[in-house]
Amino acid sequence: MDFRRKSKARVERKPEYENLEQKYKHNVLLYRMPPTEDIKIHEFEDLALERLKVLRILEQAQAKSLRFLSDDWKEYVHDELSREGLKGYLRLCTNGGNTAANNASKHEFELQARRRDYISHFILRLAYCRTQELKSWFIAREMELFKYKFSAMTPAEIKQFLDLHNLNYVPLSAEQKNAVKDGLIESTVGQSVAKIEMLDFYKVPFTQVLDLVRSRRCYLKDGQAYVNTHDFISIVGTKQLEEIEHGLKSAQRLIREVETDERLFTLLKSLHTSYTGKDYTVGKDVKVPIESIDQLSKKSFPLCMRLCHEHLRTNHHLKYDGRMQYGLFLKGIGVTLEDAIRFWREELTKKMDPEKFAKSYQYNIEHNYGKKGSLKDYAPYSCAKVIQENVVQGSVNGCPFKYYDQSTLKQKLAAAGLGTAHIQDVAGLAAKHHYQLACAKYFQVTHDTNVEVAINHPNHYYLQSQELMGNRVEKKSHAGPPRKSTKGNVSGSQSTQDYSVYMNADDDDELWNIADDTQKTFESSTQKPAAKSTDIAWEDDLDLTAIDC
């Protein structure tokens, strides 16, 4: 993707209906060509976060050890998608290639969903190309999403999909099929003998269906795999995988240039750790008196915060990262600024000069409450952020289920009052890197409940605990559309400036080499209706020409 700053005005244009029809012809699409339209940076962020939610749902399903595409898996993903209001994805995932062409409004909804799906994939490539770890995560999730969508198609829809993507596979003739019939019947897994007689079979090099080969799910002869229409999920999956891997490589080559724009840089860089649920910026509803913290920390704090609290009480000290993590959490549960300053002063000045506290520490607290410096109201850390924290010797920030070795963790759990069997359960999940599940288990044990909780945010942990104990009822005001929290990272992106993001149709590699050829992009831009061009800041206009990623 090219984010070269453009010298010419760019106008936002709402994609037209028939235009969409042409571009996004099917619910399931291979992400081959980069998108070719203008989008604003708001939408850029929106689309990215929306897709991220979807991918995280898939991640959760996996963390719950649900077998991919099993009924349980589908039910879980389906429920979560509708709970999060991701109707577009839900439609794409469950409707196969069946379009609602006879219902205009439904059809347009579907087309919009396709568009969001398509563009957001390319945006996330930019965010996920930077490290091997991110790439692996992204590829695994994207392949799940793709296969989920693909699996909903009927054989006829699959054929349509193949035609659309110029994937020309010719089924075996009756004679050819007959010659390998025994092998097909013996080795085609997942289909009854009667079905096998009926189905069309295709002969492809075994390297195109490695997952079928690996698990001995198809007939194999002389290096050729014999697969049926239903197995195209495997063939096309391989193609999609190659496409994404290649795309990530290209994205990686371009990322430095893209990041010359600071807003995009911050957005893309923090995307994976950004929190997609409620942001808990301020505990608006309830004021929590600081005197109750000792009590609350034992019952309602997640282990990460409980340890911060205990460390502070015992050592009267907490390193910067710990103060940030814990301080913002306290703010989130409803500790007022005044209480917070009092609380930190009391503790910290047991070991330091009150003057030093007033000079450098108090400032930080006020800063976190948005009263100093950037005047930005900082959001408490989500689990994703806490888990990603860099934990150094002697600090107590980060996720204890991640950073403690097994024996230390078990000690801490024992100190928190857990019995041996429970300690084993919790520590066992942590050992398998299921930190949030370990935390959820810890929640269940400490609350003596079987209620299934999903832990994504320490402040949510706190709220669930309080609700469970009847201390608090969830306010209706939270039921509205979840707010995006990355505004904390992307400063200014919510402003009224009109940043237009342009994606060019000519998407060849070579376009990257003709960076100076601005004439071309100029021409394509001037052909667009210039309805709303006055309020555009010229230098802020971005050119996302030729996204080859």
Partner 1 sequence: MPEMETENTNSTTTEPVTAENPDEKQKKTTYAAVYDPECLPDMLPVYYRRLFPHKPFYRWLSYGLSEDGIFVNREISFTLHDDIYIRYLCFETQQEFEKELCTRCPFKIDIGAVMNTRPKNNRISAAAMAPVQRELVFDIDMTDYDDVRTCCSDKSVCQKCWKFMAVAANILDTAVKEDFGWEHILWVFSGRRGIHCWICDYEARHLDTQGRSAVAEYLQIINNAMGSNGASVSRVFIGERMHHSVRRAYQIIEPAFEEIILRDQNLFSSPKGIEKLCNFIGDEVARQETEQFLLNNVEDGAPALKVWEAFKRYANSMRCNATQSVWSRRLKNIIEEIQLACLYPRLDINVTKGFNHLLKAPFCIHPSTGKVCVPFNASVAGKFNPTTVPTIAQLLQEINAFDEKNKAEDEADEKSRIKDYKKTSMFKGVVVFEEFVRKLETSLKAKSKKLNEINMEF
Nearer to partner 1, 85 or 190 (CB): 190
Handedness of CA 143, 144, 149, 155 (dihedral sign): positive
The DSSP string of 7-70 is: SS-----PPPHHHHHHH--SSS----SPP-SEEEHHHHHHHHHHHHHHHHHHHHHHHTTPPTTS
Spatial distance between the Cα atoms of 26 and 13, rounded to a whole number of angstroms: 23
Q: Does residue 251 contact residue 549 with C-beta atoms inside 8 Å?
A: yes
Q: Which of 32, 38, 1 is nearest to 19 (CA)?
A: 38
Q: How far is CA 362 from the centre of its chain?
A: 35
Q: How far is CA 460 from the centre of its chain?
A: 18
Q: Which residue has the tokens 């829809």?
A: 157
The DSSP string of 317-372 is: ---HHHHHHHHHHHHHHT--HHHHHHHHHHHHTTTS-HHHIIIIIHHHHHHHTTSS
414 φ, ψ (degrees, to nearest 5) = -65, -40
**Minimum CB–partner distance for residue 127 and partner 1 (Å):** 25
Contacting residues toward partner 1, per CB under 8 A? 182-183, 185-187, 189, 206-207, 210-211, 213-216, 219-224
Q: Which of 120, 97, 135 is nearest to 244 (CA)?
A: 135
Angle between the N-to-C axes of helices 87-94 and 71-83, in degrees from 0 to 180, rounded to the nearest 10: 150
Nearer to partner 1, 146 or 280 (CB): 146
Q: Is 549 marked within a binding site?
A: no
Nearer to partner 1, 25 or 130 (CB): 130
**Minimum CB–partner distance for residue 181 and partner 1 (Å):** 12
Nearer to partner 1, 71 or 222 (CB): 222
The secondary structure of residue 4, as a DSSP letter, is E
Q: Is 93 marked within a binding site?
A: no
**Minimum CB–partner distance for residue 143 and partner 1 (Å):** 13
**Minimum CB–partner distance for residue 165 and partner 1 (Å):** 22
Q: Does residue 549 contact residue 248 with C-beta atoms inside 8 Å?
A: yes
Nearer to partner 1, 161 or 201 (CB): 201
> What does DSSP say about strands 500-503 and 542-544: parallel, antiparallel, or unpaired?
parallel
**Minimum CB–partner distance for residue 406 and partner 1 (Å):** 22
Q: Does residue 503 contact residue 544 with C-beta atoms inside 8 Å?
A: yes
Q: Which residue has the tokens 């795309």?
A: 247
Nearer to partner 1, 243 or 377 (CB): 243
Burial of 43: CB neighbours in 10 Å, binned 0-12, 13-18, 19+: middle
Spatial distance between the Cα atoms of 27 and 113, rounded to a whole number of angstroms: 9
Amino acid occupying residue 355: E
Nearer to partner 1, 238 or 525 (CB): 238
**Minimum CB–partner distance for residue 139 and partner 1 (Å):** 12
Q: Is 439 marked within a binding site?
A: yes
Spatial distance between the Cα atoms of 188 and 226, rounded to a whole number of angstroms: 8
Nearer to partner 1, 213 or 468 (CB): 213
Nearer to partner 1, 215 or 393 (CB): 215
Nearer to partner 1, 186 or 285 (CB): 186
3-state secondary structure at position 316: coil
**Minimum CB–partner distance for residue 70 and partner 1 (Å):** 17
Spatial distance between the Cα atoms of 312 and 318, rounded to a whole number of angstroms: 6
**Minimum CB–partner distance for residue 267 and partner 1 (Å):** 30
**Minimum CB–partner distance for residue 271 and partner 1 (Å):** 27
3-state secondary structure at position 228: strand
**Minimum CB–partner distance for residue 145 and partner 1 (Å):** 20
Output the known binding site for [4Fe-4S] cluster.
304, 383, 399, 439
Output the known binding site.
304, 383, 399, 439
